[in-house]
Structure 1
Amino acid sequence: MGLNFQRPRKSLKVVTGLVAIAKNPCLHPGDVRILEAVDVPELHHLYDCLVFPQKGDRPHTNEASGSDLDGDLYFVTWDENLIPPSKRSWTPMEYAPGEVKQLPREVKHSDIIDFFTRNMVNESLGAICNAHVVHADLSEYGALDEKCIKLAELAATAVDCPKTGKIVNMPAELKPKMYPDFMGKEEFQSYNSNKILGKLYRKIKDAYDRDHEASPEHTFASDDIIYNQDLEVAGSTSFIADAWNCKCSYDGQLIGLLGQYKVNREEEVVTGHIWSMPKYSSKKQGEVKERLKHAYSTLRKEFRKVFECMGPEFDQFSDDEKNIMYERKASAWYQVTYQESWVKKSKELHAVDDAGKSVMLSFAWIAADYLARIKIKRRMMENSISTKPIDSLGRYLADKI
């Protein structure tokens, strides 16, 4: 986070009263801790964080899924709707730290290879967590079901497997044979869940299916692309030629990803919400989607570096001058993506390899932060004396970006 986001704001508030705290994996009912937040003036220099007490029968962090504060992230809420009616925590599970395996000699490369392969082959945490979801859904007792409690204990051991070397095998009687529909397994493996997750899943899925059937066309027509002239800035012309070359390269690689992973639409890859990929087994499809997301993330980072590369003389500029140059370059990237003549040129180019079926629009938004700067500045120029809340917000953001 930049310095602008590190300075305390006047709107900061100390949360007091009952709060619910948890961290993943959260399988045992006692992993959700109901605690009382208090105001300690001596700690007011800390914000956007949790401060746990040092004294007590047992660390609250250990009560919450056996956390050892090695970079764990917590969920915390003080919304009364999410606090259990009893306003009490369930008895936490005992998370005794496993004995760490020690070698009586120096670690060799063969030890590292053996450790890595054993953990790859015997990794069972995901399967245990999935089984917990199934049994909690099937049982009227939910996570309090004895099978879920047993799975929570197995998960705690599996989490520490890389440290302790203790392999966890899930008992056959706990392995699911069918899965609730909201887990997205194949139809022959699924049943309709009667609980809230199943009902929500089906409502969302039905709404999406109706929308998808009503909009079978997977392309953007040129007439549908709105060009915002506010994002044109003086001096951007000198970046246009380079911007077009970069866009051609980016689009080509992105189209390659769409073809490689058999995905229909650009926005699926950009948003990470991938729905048109062919059906594989649930596990394989998840892995393939993650590979695609990683591939696109790498592509985006690569072109962000291209955007930020300005040449050796750029370092001699002041910060304000650098921002102006970046805004000009961002404007050029936007123009070659959205301006009508460039859209037409892009469609003609893609028609050779892509049957003209799509107009690629994500290239411009690699520099979204600088496009936002341009838009905010333009809004301020148009109405610099406005007292409307949205304009006040615009002026505030322009100073901070």
Structure 2
Amino acid sequence: MDDYNAAAMILCGIPLEEPFLQYHLNILVKAEKNRLGEGKLYLEDCFYMMGTVDPTRTLKPNQVCIIRENGQITGDVLVYRNPGLHFGDIQIMQATFVEGLESYVGHGESAIFFPCVGSRSVADEIAGDGYMYWISKNPQLLQHFRQRDPWIQRPASNSVRLSSSELSHEQVEEELCKLCLETRFQPSSTIGVAADSWMALMDRLLILRNDVKHEKEVQQVKINILKLSNLYYKALDAHKKGGGKIQVPEDLTADLYPHYMNRFNIRRGLQMSNN
């Protein structure tokens, strides 16, 4: 976070009481406190790396190949790509040694390779946009992890779409211009609202999941979380698939937020205004 200034000074033998070093260490401490306040905890055996397809075409559907500094690793791993809100967006996969991969990547390291076989790629099942993947070999996470089915978009009813082959060159250009202007000057708030409401409900679920008294509420929270996940992914892909405007229903919009989200709570605001 500070271009390794603090680490370099410590490794050079500079005492911790040195004022400039103290300044950098205070910055790191404040940043760590902010992370803890947001619920972000350090976990061992977890790392981020770039993902791509297996050039050897030898990996099976549930296998990946992971190259780190000391070579390829093997064993079960958890794989996740941000952003992802569905329970099936994190999957357990088998890290497998692929012979001959070095001839493709050379001296490259810190990469994960996905199989290119099956009806649907694993990278597509782990929903979200981006190329950096979170991987974990943490034994406790692997022990308690429960696999869920990946998110599948259900086709919209009564939807009529025209492919680009059915349009003239002028019509395609006009549609692309409209899409560009709508994306640039009419940004949708659905993605942000769905993500924030999902986070608030997930926080609520983690609090009540072992409370028998609130079993009905827990079930309803789970249903609402899945609904928000569907809205979130539909909003992400709406501009790609020519879908209409997507809105988050009022009954799914959170009115209470955890403190670490630094959001205004509607209920608390109403109570304060009434008082």
What TM-score range do you get, normalising by the shorter chain? 0.5 to 0.7
Report the TM-score when normalising by structure 1: 0.39
Q: Spell out the pairing of 1:207-356 with structure 2 (5 A cutoff).
A: none
Q: Spell out the pairing of 1:131-280 with structure 2 (5 A cutoff).
A: 131-139=197-205, 140-141=208-209, 145-166=222-243, 167-186=245-264
Q: Deviations over 1:201-246 (max 9, x none)?
A: xxxxxxxxxxxxxxxxxxxxxxxxxxxxxxxxxxxxxxxxxxxxxx
Match of 2:71 in 1: 13
* Bigger radius of gyration among the two: 1
Structure 2 distance, partners of 1:149, 1:100, is: 30
Identity of aligned residues (%): 22
Deviation at 1:159, TM superposition (A): 0.9
Deviation at 1:152, TM superposition (A): 0.7
Decide which of 80, 93, 97 is 2:139's aligned counterpart. Answer: 80
Q: Deviations over 1:108-134 (max 9, x none)?
A: 776455323433243411111111111
Deviation at 1:107, TM superposition (A): 4.9
Structure 2 distance, partners of 1:133, 1:37, is: 30
More off after superposition, 182-191 vs 153-162: 182-191
Structure 2 distance, partners of 1:127, 1:57, is: 32
* Count of residues in Structure 1 that have an aligned counterpart in Structure 2: 179
Q: Which has the higher contact order (CA 8 A, sep 6+)?
A: 2
Instruction: Label 1:121 to 1:38 Cα distance change in 2 as closer, same or farther (>3 A).
Output: closer
Runs (5+) with no aligned partner, structure 2: 1-66, 210-217, 270-275
Report the TM-score when normalising by structure 2: 0.55
**Kept in 2: contact 1:179–1:190 (CA 8 A):** no
Deviation at 1:58, TM superposition (A): 3.6
Specify which structure has the higher proportion of strand.
Answer: 2
Match of 2:150 in 1: 92
Which secondary structure state, in structure 2, belongs to the residue aligned with residue 21 of structure 1? strand
Instruction: Label 1:56 to 1:169 Cα distance change in 2 as closer, same or farther (>3 A).
Output: same
Deviation at 1:32, TM superposition (A): 0.2
Instruction: Label 1:36 to 1:172 Cα distance change in 2 as closer, same or farther (>3 A).
Output: same
Specify which structure has the higher proportion of helix.
Answer: 1
Structure 1 distance, partners of 2:162, 2:198, is: 27
More off after superposition, 110-119 vs 163-172: 110-119
Which secondary structure state, in structure 2, belongs to the residue aligned with residue 178 of structure 1? coil
What RMSD over aligned residues (CA atoms) do the two structures have, in Å? 3.3
Match of 1:62 in 2: 124
Decide which of 180, 183, 192 is 1:116's aligned counterpart. Answer: 180
Decide which of 191, 198, 201 is 1:125's aligned counterpart. Answer: 191
Structure 2 distance, partners of 1:112, 1:180, is: 40
